[in-house]
Amino acid sequence: YICIFFKCTLNYLFPQVKMNVGVAHSEVNPNTRVMNSRGIWLTYALGVGMLHIVLLSIPFFSVPVVWTLTNVIHNLGMYVFLHAVKGTPFETPDQGKARLLTHWEQLDYGVQFTSSRKFFTISPIILYFLASFYTKYDPAHFIINTASLLSVLIPKLPQLHGVRIFGINKY
């Protein structure tokens, strides 16, 4: 009982001290902090810009089609990477706690409304506005872009943190 008392007291007094034995990194789960690393937002924006330029270089695509494709491909990639893939590519000492969480749920240790979560919520909205403007609000493009936007915004809601609708992606 004395050991438990001292362990609890030390954890209370020094909560930031973590001891990772046998791992190469200091984070319990590096997947939680990767989106806060230096230059990741610029790289992300440049990647979306490069996708758009590559699509513009295809000769038989019109500008509205390219904007819609950029939006849909971006949102599909974001959905797969942030909301469908679970676990972590790193060996973590968290005893499998991250195994059942998506990357979005692991981001910033699950804390809502951090700067990276805001950035990854606002970026598809900005891309949606650009796509809607350059397609001149054509009804077909507008419906496709809106459905694509909703498919990545709804899973980001704090009320859906850890929720698996109809048991999809439960395991």
pLDDT digits (tens, 9 = 90+) for 19-35: 555 555 556 677 677 77
* 50 pLDDT above the threshold of 60: yes
* 130 pLDDT above the threshold of 90: yes
Among 42, 41, 12, residue whose Cα is nearest residue 114: 41
Q: Quote the CA–CA distance of 80 and 76 in Å, as a whole number.
A: 6
- Average pLDDT of the chain? 82
Q: Is 1 helix (H, G, I), strand (E, B) or coil?
A: coil
DSSP state of 33: T
* 7 pLDDT above the threshold of 90: no
Q: What percent of the chain clears pLDDT 90, i.e. is strictly above it?
A: 44
With 0-12 / 13-18 / 19 or more C-beta atoms within 10 angstroms meaning exposed / middle / buried, residue 95 is exposed
Query: Please, which residues bridge with residue 13 across strands?
Result: none
Per-residue pLDDT, averaged over 148-155, amounts to: 94
pLDDT (tens digit, 9 = 90+) per residue, 79-105?
A: 998 888 887 776 666 666 777 788 888
- The amino acid that residue 20 corresponds to is N
* 1 pLDDT above the threshold of 50: no
